[in-house]
Amino acid sequence: MGPESSETVYEGKLIRVVVERWDDRLREVVEPPNSVAIVAVDEEGFVTLVRQLREAARRELLELPAGGVEPGESALESAKRELAEETGLTGGSWRHWGGFFTTPGFCREWMDLFFAEDVRRGEASPTADEAFEPVRVPVAELADLLPQLEDAKTLAGLSLFLQHVAR
């Protein structure tokens, strides 16, 4: 299934926007790179989230470590790189849960979700344009945190983790 026609109307550094014709309907579609998100539990039983300014939301959000898949990287390689950059966490046992479209009403972004257990703490190394505040949460307190979260990937990732792993 696909559109009858597609025209790129914007080509940015990270995304492009296309206008597609589907029968008599025009759709604007954002095309970012695919991405990854990680629920990582360290050796002490804490999940590390990151608080960061999200300009589009006009405030800081508490989120799972996440990021884009770089060209030539597998989703797992990207997940391990993003986790280390944003939190300093490395190693451990990794499991791919699956994936989902982040906002399929207008965006083609696919996000793979990983669970990492027994990761080791270290120093974060964010890129020059990133600023993160790590927030460690005991696994036992995650369910109580869910109503305070506003980020969809974090709500989905932590809910799936609590349902399938942290029983």
Among 119, 74, 125, residue whose Cα is nearest residue 92:
119
Q: How far is it, in rounded angstroms, from Cα 116 to Cα 64?
A: 12
Q: Is 130 a catalytic residue?
A: yes
Backbone angles phi, psi at 18, to 5 degrees: -120, 150
One of 44, 130, 133, 141 is an active-site residue; which one? 130
Q: Interior CA angle at 56 toward 113 and 28, to 5°? A: 80
β-strand pairing of 110-119 with 35-42: parallel
- Length in residues, the chain: 167
| Residue 152 structure tokens | 């969809």
Catalytic residues, by residue number, are: 130
